[in-house]
Structure 1
Amino acid sequence: MCGVFIAMGIILDYLRDRREVQISTEKRNLQQQAIKDLVHTLIDTSQGTCDALSIEEKRRREASLAAARKAILSTIRRSIGPENGVRVNFFEVAEDSAPTLRASTYAHEGRSNHRSTRIFDLHDESLKLALCHNQGRFIVDAKAAGLDSELPYQTFATMPVSSENYLYGMITVDSPEAGDINEFEAKELLNLYASQFALTFMSSPKEAKRLRIGDICNDLDN
């Protein structure tokens, strides 16, 4: 009888170890596929931006850059959060004397009310972070954080579209359900896409509306 129990124990240990190896292999394969998909997406969007920047004629270049920006936002929409409910907007500089950002009329993706009506000014923490520290903002649950209860979403992330010295705007991602966006997506992945987006302004940086990072914050401190 003892021999039977020992044999059964050995068999169960073997089956458990085999199952753990199988699960680990499946997870690793899924992770590798996700990384491959992300790399291919980044290659495609980077190539589109490079192609647009290489066009010499201004009107064609601007049209191509607008298409590249749209493609990047579409990629963000597919890469961050669940399949349904997420909204992506690019907020561009509307006023520079009194820093204000408004959602672009062309650069938005996602759920039916996808163009945001929100206006960012220096009263908003998201714009302060972007202008003073060139940083994004992530709120996983707006209600828990005590934010405006009238917001049409519960989780959101913002990321500056910027160079070292200039802010060209911000990308925002939001969803009605708290927790739909995780920290990796909000801070690492969105930052990567925002950096790509910033490249589309590099061919004519002086012509693009922009705010100088740090200057306005220094004025506020004084």
Structure 2
Amino acid sequence: MFSFQGTLHDLGQTGAGAFQFPVFHEKHPCIQASVHIANVQKTWYSFEDDRIHKDRFLMAIGLGTPAFVNLVTIDTGSTLSWVQCRPCPIRCHNQDEEAGRIFDPLQSSTYQSVGCSTEDCGYVHETLGIPFGCNEEQDSCLYSLRYASEEYTAGSLVKDKLTLGNNFSIDDFMFGCSGDDRYNAADAGIIGFGGATYSFFRQVVRHTNYTAFSHCFPGNH
């Protein structure tokens, strides 16, 4: 059986300065039943459970120090990126082992919360159109986000190191640390490709020389 293989440690910024990363989908012409990817430590693992990759485009990201490598769904229609986090105090979806370990902030030396009075907190609340939310005891900015599919996520805004391959990383990547969600998939969460300043692209581009971003997905997925 032929399988598509993409190595994260070979990807990131190319010699010409362009930025690349692998994307996986069940209907990739080279995929039949399984997808193989490499994590940032250059070790191989595979996932064959179609609950993970069915009808979704996925990419692999590393969060924290040391990195928790997670498979996340690419969403071109939303902006906030999020993964579910330990501990999960309310309700979280069943994340498959093959999608990576659930992110644990206490195990990351570079993790930091986003304060309630910060500009980031106010801007996310304003652009998402949600009421102000704050855990005053921990000075932690809260978020909630509901999708048209009736899926939702809620939790704390945080920042940590984002790794894409062994040759590209950025500090202080802002994302949602979800402690309550309804999510109809088995991957770790969502990477937002929208246009606000806290989207994946807008945060990454601040660390490169590029101000343009393009992607192409097949129309028959």
TM-score (normalised: structure 2) = 0.28
Which has the higher relative contact order, 1 or 2, with Cα contacts under 8 A spaced 6 or more apart?
A: 2
Higher helix proportion: 1
TM-score (normalised: structure 1) = 0.28
